[in-house]
Chain A
Amino acid sequence: GQNIDQPTEMTATEGAIVQINCTYQTSGFNGLFWYQQHAGEAPTFLSYNVLDGLEEKGRFSSFLSRSKGYSYLLLKELQMKDSASYLCAVRDGDYKLSFGAGTTVTVRA
């Protein structure tokens, strides 16, 4: 089976940096996605990594190490609107995405 682990909750202060870790053990690997989901809304695509290294997109960056089965999502200069659930998902085949349970990030003033 697939096993994708991420912390359940994290809290940080406005303007700070938060790093959300994701570890995975899957039968195959064809890329790792991060999604953001605000309460009651659709998950929205944030980033994609298929090769080792760091992908930067504005305030958000995502890192992948395939040999370690490890990724992180880095959120910089946190804003109140960044309070949401962050989902780590591994593509292990043609179409299939296996998801972690999500990390709820709360940004405090």
Chain B
Amino acid sequence: ETGVTQTPRHLVMGMTNKKSLKCEQHLGHNAMYWYKQSAKKPLELMFVYNFKEQTENNSVPSRFSPECPNSSHLFLHLHTLQPEDSALYLCASSQEGSGGVDTQYFGPGTRLTVL
């Protein structure tokens, strides 16, 4: 079973649309993350949730709205996006505070194109 799943895998939307990205982790982790990956650029951390509480918001525009209803699910709600928001959006999860390595495990990503 894949540890972290994301849907949809591909999404094309207009600038006036509203859509949501979904992430689910099956690893029993307590932290979840959204990253943006643009071509030739480092992964950019967008949001962090720990035990369902948002602990990080890296100055992300309000047209991106995260939601974490429980420790296994994470959503990214999108509205009135811009063409420069086209990128690969990656979800990750980790077990924080375990005393171990706390490795982040990634989902396959959603390839978003904004027209």
**Interface residue ranges, A against B (CB under 8 Å):** 4, 8, 31, 33, 35, 40-45, 48, 87, 89, 91, 94-102
Q: Which residues of chain B from 55 to 112 have any CB-CB distance to chain A below 8 Å in the complex?
A: 55-56, 90, 94, 96, 101-109, 111
Closest to A89 in B: B43
Contact, CB under 8 Å: A97 / B104: yes
A40, A91, A94, A99: the one contacting B42 at CB < 8 Å is A99
How far, in angstroms, from A89 to B109 measured CA to CA in the complex? 18
> Using Cβ atoms and an 8 Å threshold, which residues of chain A touch B21?
none
How many Å lie between the Cα of A100 and that of B104 in the bound state? Answer: 16
Contact B42 A42 (CB under 8 A): no
Could you say which of B40, B42, B45, B90 contacts A4, with CB atoms under 8 Å apart?
B42
Inside 8 A of B101's CB, which chain A residues have their CB? 31, 48
Q: Which residues of B contact A87 (CB under 8 A)?
A: 43
B48 touches A95 (CB 8 A): yes
B-to-A contact residues, CB < 8 Å:
4, 31, 33, 40-43, 45, 48, 50, 55-56, 90, 94, 96, 101-109, 111
Contacts of A95 in B (CB 8 A): 31, 33, 48, 50, 55-56, 94, 96, 102
A99, B38: Cα distance in complex, Å: 12
Shortest distance between the CB of B52 and any CB in chain A (Å): 14
User: Would A43 and B55 count as touching, CB distance under 8 A?
Assistant: no
Contact residues in A for B4 (Cβ distance below 8 Å): 42
The answer to whether B96 and A94 have CB atoms under 8 Å apart is yes
Known A42-B4, A95-B48; judge A102-B42 contact (CB<8 A): yes
